[in-house]
Amino acid sequence: MTALDPRVPSGPLETRWTRHRDELALMGPTRRRFHSVLVIGAGLAGASAAATLSELGYRVRCLVFHDSPRRAHSVAAQGGINAAKNYQNDGDSVGRLFHETLEGGDFRSRESSVYRLAELSARIIDHAVAQGVPFAREYGGHLASRSFGGTLVSRTFYARGQTGQQLLLGAYGALAKEEAAGGVTVLPRREMLDLIVVDGRARGVIARDLVTGALETHLADAVVLATGGYANAYYLSTNAKASNATAIWRAHRRGAAFANPGFVQFHPTCLPAAGEHQAKTTLMSESLRNDGRLWVPARMGDTRRPQDIPEAERDYFLERRYPRFGNLVPRDLGSRACKAMLEDGRGVGPGEKAVYLDLTEAAGRLGMDVLRERYGNLFELYRHITGDDPLRGAMRIAPAAHYTMGGLWVDYDLMSNLPGLFVIGEANFSDHGANRLGASALMQGLADGYFILPYTLAGYLAGAPLVAVDADGPEARGALAQVGARLERLLAIGGRRTAGDFHRALGGLLWNHCGLERSREGLEKAIDEVAALREAFWKDLALPGGATELNQELERADRVADFLELGELMCRDALAREESCGCHFRMEHQTSDGEALRDDARFAHVAAWMPGEQGRGPERLIEPLHFASLALHERSYK
Amino acid sequence: MNVTLRIWRQRNPREAGGFLRYTLGDVRPEMTLLEVLDRLNEELAAAGEPPVAFDSDCREGICGACGIVVDGRPHGPLPGTTTCLLPMRAFRDDATITLEPFRTGAFPLVRDLVVDRRALDRVMQAGGYISVRAGSAPEANTIPVGRESTERALDAAECIGCGACVAACPNGSASLFVGAKLTHLGLLPQGQPERARRGRSMVAAADGEGFGGCSLHGECEAVCPKGIGLGVIARMNRDHLHAALGGQNP
């Protein structure tokens, strides 16, 4: 097996980042304006990176497919952001956040990167507060915090149930400030459709102006992808409707390794799916597990209203299974426990597809006013969507696809194996291993954008031999022609099935075979069926309109075509990993009490897939993982 | 339920537009209006017809991308609800529902129900932020911030930038939008140094973008999906007046 080199600095874990930062080459302040950087996406990672690079003096162009950079899906993150502040005096520290993140990820993440993330966490809060992010406060005016799954301390900072929105508005404000100063140009309604590689280095992208349909060539000295995750491969997910894998998938087709594509997080507390018509599933923040208790009726077929079922006839299954962590187990364990209850025939609500999340005990203990202050907008959201009162009886929740730990492989400097291509936020395979802890996505996106990339990108630019490129060069022209031809091909199919229809079919296959539980038999079947579906797509797609106008159906079809390729790779990755770890639960590999059974001897590595060429299948490279600071052990939340 | 959607169709700003009617059966009351539009669009696409263009993304009422004038009211009949969360149970069976884009001078039409709201971003560029460089922030608990003012700042900061307030205003004013940002930042100690300048330049930018003045009709408050009230406009006026009179910070 060929190994990828993450280029991790040597020396003690605690000082690696500081030392590396001191050793990275700097770019002189008067030289920075001669360097251009393309940032694709303006969520937490993209907006923070674009703004910070502009503050430093680089010329930045930022492409977003929304009408405004403030719409990116980071806006929907609800519960909070972790930081090792230890304001609660409860034993928190950088070391403990590091340890919990590494363990939460079931020892499938890169130790050095996780440590750096924990180390930078506190500065993110400092910066966000300075930007005017209105985090919740104690009466004395100091920052309040709450607990999240997989931790025994209270280190999650929050702004009601809309922390992501407030942090994104902070980063969006920074971006607006830099746009006004002339350092950043934001181009809205632009979608990246290809990566331009010159002399083995990423030097630009082909983008489509979604309003006019014009294909544009954007060149730069480096390209930063901050385009989010691919949970929408499942069709129903908590992601926004337009969230997609196209930017990272097209970069992968150009040679960027795709790491751990099968690592997908299913969030236990989402609103249950209601029917064919449903556009997406909606998350109910994990923070509700601070005060809410998950339960199902103790006996099957109990159809009484939740408030009519007495305590003794309820099964608080997480508290029973995990007495130490109770309702605050990590998401992978929570989701699988929910699924087990549903398979046991003890699901509740229409179609028996849900479990209860009950706040009655907390309402009695804390009072309604406190609950409303903590979760008010979540209750509103629940009421809007279900038409029910979340505080009467109990809320009904179920697991759904939520976040992808997999993504483009990056080294310690957040650079992919293609020099000049940096990948940040959820788009990279990141620091979360096989399972991300709650409130860590915002932390990672902002650490990447504000505090890591600005240093590492300078180090790259200072040492890279960058030749002059122009839009008329063969690489740019070739990419432009390929993108145009693909769109024409999609429009010429003239079939009968819509992109949405194909997307739902793909989602069903992935949910059934590459979801909460996977097996060899199911995955092999799914690989064949996804390939067949892809073939059908290219023969029978119905797609009206043209390429030179606003055509949302064309945008959708083009993204679904990529999901149909990525979906197969997700299954291949899940099939090749013959162990269970975190979110990746292979039925063949479990302990006697049904927990994930890792195989550290064979699989303590990151799997990074290279695109197949000329009929060859994709190639699986690895990055071996070493754990110097912490002995590998079985996760225990019992 | 059965519904008839009467939808504004316009291919681009240069061609004339008009209403087209679409009748749909088997609509379930728990579907959202946008899910009904999704279904209509799939039927149109399968039939080779151009689907109805509309903006929406999160479908959770937080990204601010969606915004349709439903029966004459931005975001439709339910108070405190974005278009994406509007359930069909808000309509009666056999209803005819009229869908139009946000119509206001500062939001040029793009196609069908899609408009260009980039003017709001440009108003934000005029000062809707606290100027702080990454790396220069003090430790977060150095400056205590009162719980009460934080809560009020967050009430204003909840603005999702959808532009419904502008669409509802007879003057096409963005005062609720500008006031919300000035209130959010003006209530926090970190926002004080730039407060006067911020008020002056955001109001000037809104004027420059062609948003109208405020004459306190209150239509904006009535349609704001986040319940932002006219109080933020009073704050905007106070800050702006003070700045205009040469005061540093009110």
Residues 6+ apart with CB under 8 A from A89: none
Query: Which pLDDT tens digit goes with each residue over A217-226?
Result: 999 999 999 9
Report the first-to-last Cα separation within chain B, whole angstroms. 55
Task: Render A334-398 in DSSP notation, one character per residue.
Answer: HHHHHHHHHHTT--BSGGG-BEEEE-HHHHHHH-HHHHHHHHHHHHHHHHHHH-S-TTSS-EEEE
Q: Give the list of residues 6+ apart from residue B48 with CB closer than 8 angstroms, or none.
A: A542, A544
| C-beta separation of A249 from A448 below 8 A | no
Q: What is the pLDDT of residue A392?
A: 87
> Is A364 in contact with A270 (CB distance < 8 Å)?
no
Contact A479, A218 (CB under 8 A): no
Q: Which fold has domain A267-402?
A: Flavocytochrome C3; Chain A, domain 1 (3.90.700)
Instruction: Return the SS3 of A607.
Output: strand
Query: CA distances (Å), B137 to each of A122, A456, B130, in order?
Result: 11, 21, 11
Do A190 and A216 touch, CB atoms closer than 8 A? yes
Tokens 């209850």 map to which residue? A341
Question: 3-class DSSP state for residue A421?
Answer: strand
What is the signed CA dihedral for A222, A227, A229, A233, rounded to 10 degrees? -110
> What is the CA A116 to chain-centroid distance, rounded?
19
What are the two backbone dihedrals, phi and then psi, of residue A499, each rounded to the nearest 5 degrees? Answer: -60, -40
Are A66 and A211 spatial neighbours (Cβ–Cβ below 8 Å)?
no
Which residues does chain A have within 8 Å of residue B134's beta carbon, measured at their own beta carbons? Answer: 48, 51-52, 55, 127, 174, 450-451, 454
> How much is the average pLDDT of B90-117?
98
Residue A118 in this model has a pLDDT that exceeds 70: yes
CB B200 within 8 A of CB B167: no
Determine whether the interchain pair A497/B46 forms a contact, defined as Cβ–Cβ distance below 8 Å. Answer: yes
Mean pLDDT across the stretch A82-107?
96
Is residue A157 classed as helix, strand or coil in its secondary structure? strand
Domain boundaries defined on chain A: 267-402, 480-599
Chain B residue closest in CA terms to A74:
B63
Q: What is the DSSP letter of A626?
A: -
Instruction: Give the model's confidence band at A612: pLDDT under 50 very low, under 70 low, under 90 confident, else very high.
Output: confident
Residue bearing tokens 């996977």? A518
Report the C-alpha gap between B162 and B159 in whole angstroms. Answer: 8
B246 pLDDT more than 80 = no
Decide if pLDDT at A276 tops 80.
no
Backbone angles phi, psi at B20, to 5 degrees: -120, 150
How many residues belong to chain B?
A: 250
Q: How confident is the model at residue A385 (pLDDT cuts 50, 70, 90)?
A: confident
Name residues whose C-beta falls within 8 Å of residue A285's C-beta, 6 or more positions apart in sequence: A78, A79, A161, A269, A375, A378
**For the whole model, what pTM was predicted?**
0.97
pLDDT at A614 exceeding the cut of 70: no
- B11 CB-near residues (< 8 Å, 6+ apart): A549, B17, B50, B111, B112
Residues of A in contact with B114 (CB under 8 A): 550
H or E segment to which residue A399 belongs: strand A395-404
What integer is the mean pLDDT of A465-474?
95
Mean residue pLDDT across chain B: 96
Query: How many Cα neighbours within 13 Å face the side chain of A350?
Result: 7
- Residue A450 pLDDT > 80: yes
CA A533 distance to own-chain centroid: 25
Question: Residue A218 belongs to what H/E stretch?
Answer: strand A215-219
Task: Using alpha carbons only, give the angle A558, A564, A566 rounded to the nearest 5 degrees.
Answer: 105
Nearest-by-CA chain B residue for A69? B121
**A350: closest CA of chain B, how far (Å):** 13
**CB-closest option in B45, B118, B133 to A544:** B45
B117-244 is classed in which CATH architecture? Orthogonal Bundle (1.10)
The residue among B241 and A204 whose pLDDT is bigger is A204
Find out if CATH 3.10.20.30 is the number for domain B3-110. yes
Instruction: Give mean pLDDT, residues A4-29.
Output: 95
Cross-chain Cβ contact B190/A177 below 8 Å: no
pLDDT single digits (tens) A561-601: 999 999 999 999 999 999 999 999 999 999 998 899 999 99
CB A54, CB A39: distance < 8 Å:
no
Location of structure tokens 């208790």: A293
Above 80 in pLDDT, residue A498? yes
Q: What is the CA radius of gyration of chain B?
A: 20
Q: Are B119 and B102 in contact (CB under 8 A)?
A: no
Read off the pLDDT of residues B4-14 as tens digits, 9 standing for 90 and up. 999 999 999 99
Q: How many CB atoms lie within 10 A of CB A93?
A: 14
Nearest to B42 among A126, A129, A498 (CB): A498
Q: CB distance B184–A134 less than 8 Å?
A: yes
Strand partners, A201: A198
> Measuring CA to CA, which residue among B98, B96, B100 is closest to residue B3?
B96
Q: Return the amino acid letter for A100.
A: E
**Minimum-distance CB partner of A282 among B31, B60, B143:** B60
3-state secondary structure of A172: helix
pLDDT at A479 over 80: yes
**Nearest CA-CA partner of A249 in A263, A230, A235:** A230
What are the start-end ranges of the H helices in B78-117? none
Residue range(s) in chain B whose domain bears CATH number 3.10.20.30: 3-110
Cβ-nearest to B48 among A70, A76, A542: A542
Name which of A359-363, A493-497, B99-103 the model is least confident about: A359-363
The 8-class DSSP code of residue B104 comes to: B
Cβ–Cβ gap B130/A55 under 8 Å: no
Over residues B52-72, the pLDDT tens digits come to: 999 999 999 999 999 999 999
**Residue in B62, B128, B157 nearest the CB of A75:** B62
Nearest CA in chain A to B43: A498
**List of E strands, B18-111:** 18-24, 69-70, 73-74, 95-100, 109-111
- Summarize pLDDT for A280-319 with one digit per residue, the tens: 999 998 889 989 999 999 999 899 999 999 999 999 999 9
The CA-CA-CA angle for residues A213, A215, A219, to 5°, reads 145
Element containing residue A192 per DSSP (H, E): strand A190-198
| Average pLDDT for A600-619 | 91
CATH class of A480-599: mainly alpha
Q: How confident is the model at residue A348 (pLDDT cuts 50, 70, 90)?
A: very high
Cβ(A78)–Cβ(A163) under 8 Å?
yes
Counting residues of chain A whose pLDDT is more than 90, the rounded percentage is 88
Using N-to-C axis directions, what is the helix angle for A499-513 and A520-540, rounded to 10°? 170
Q: Are A457 and A224 in contact (CB under 8 A)?
A: yes
Its sign, for the CA torsion A546, A547, A552, A557, is: positive
Query: In this predicted model, what pLDDT tens digit does every residue of B218-235 receive, in sequence order?
Result: 999 999 999 999 999 999
Categorize the per-residue pLDDT at A143 as very low, low, confident or very high, splitting at 50, 70 and 90: very high
Residues in chain A: 638
CA distance A465 to chain B (A): 28
Q: How far apart are CA A398 and CA A150, in angstroms?
A: 19
Report the C-alpha gap between A589 and A579 in whole angstroms.
6
Test B153 with A130 for CB contact under 8 angstroms. Answer: no
Query: How far does A228 lie from chain B, in Å, by closest CA?
Result: 14
Q: What is the DSSP-derived secondary structure letter of residue A229?
A: -
With cut-offs at 50, 70 and 90, classify the pLDDT of residue A430: confident
- Residue A633: pLDDT above 90? no
pLDDT of the residue at A1: 61
Give the separation between CA A418 and CA A306, rounded to whole angstroms: 55
Residues β-bridged to residue A198: A201
H-helix or E-strand containing B43? Answer: helix B33-46
Q: What is the pLDDT of residue A443?
A: 98
Q: Which residues of B touch A498 (CB under 8 A)?
A: 42, 45-46
Residue where the block lists tokens 């009490």:
A593
Distance (Å, whole) CA B114 – CA A550: 10
pLDDT band at A636; cut points 50, 70, 90: confident
Residue of B nearest to A496 (CA): B46
Give the per-residue pLDDT at B243: 85
For the cut 60, the answer to whether the pLDDT of residue A522 exceeds it is: yes
Distance CA B164, CA B161 (A): 8
Contact yes or no for A66/B161 (Cβ under 8 A): no
- To test the contact with chain A by mutation, choose from B34, B111, B115, B124 the residue with the greatest count of A C-beta atoms within 10 A, namely B124
The answer on pLDDT for B250 being more than 80 is no
d(CA A109, CA A101): 9
> Is B249 a residue whose pLDDT tops 60?
no
CA distance B225 to B233: 17
A193 CA to centre of own chain = 20
Is A143 in contact with A153 (CB distance < 8 Å)? no
Residue of A48, A284, A552 to mutate when probing chain B, most B C-beta within 10 A: A552
- SS3 at position A293: strand
Whether the CB-CB separation of A353 and A347 falls below 8 Å is answered with yes
How confident is the model over B13-23, as a mean pLDDT?
97
The whole-chain average pLDDT of chain A stands at 95
- The pLDDT assigned to B248 comes to 59
Residue B64: both structure tokens together: 């601010």
Does the pLDDT at position B247 exceed 70?
Answer: no
> H-helix or E-strand containing A484?
helix A474-492
A452 or A378, greater pLDDT = A452
End-to-end CA distance of chain A: 37
Number of C-beta neighbours around residue A25 at 10 A:
11
Predicted confidence (pLDDT) at residue B133 exceeds the cutoff of 80: yes
For the stretch A17-68, pLDDT in tens is 999 999 999 999 999 999 999 999 999 999 999 999 999 999 999 999 999 9
In chain B, where does the domain assigned CATH 1.10.1060.10 lie? 117-244
Assess contact for B23 and A39: CB atoms under 8 A.
no
